Amino acid sequence: MTRINITEAKNHLSKYLRRVKNGETIILCERNVPIAEIRPLEPEGRQLRPIGLDKGRFTVPASFFEPLPDWLLDAFEGKKSE
């Protein structure tokens, strides 16, 4: 772990951010007294959601599969109904 004072951090921020990006933790100090820790964030987990996650929580009515009415299809196509 590297300790740096605020002035050093301000003058060489990009250098220290590269080190953090590579996994290093940096302790930020004010007059050599630690006040904060700069560390890399954990990568966001992009896991696939399992199929059937909400199985049994709702049902799809048969009417869902029926064709849409003409007035609604016209609206999707930008046609004005009379």
pLDDT of residue 81: 63
Against a cut of 0.75, is the pTM above it? no
Q: Is residue 69 part of a domain?
A: no
How many domains are contained in the chain? 1
What CATH number is given to the structural domain containing 24?
Answer: 3.40.1620
pLDDT of residue 10: 95
Q: Is residue 20 part of a domain?
A: yes
pLDDT at 54 over 90: no
Q: Is residue 55 part of a domain?
A: no
pLDDT at 80 over 80: no
Three state DSSP letters for the chain: CEEEEHHHHHHCHHHHHHHHHCCCCEEEEECCEEEEEECCCCCCCCCCCCCCCCCCCCCCCHHHHCCCCHHHHHHHCCCCCC
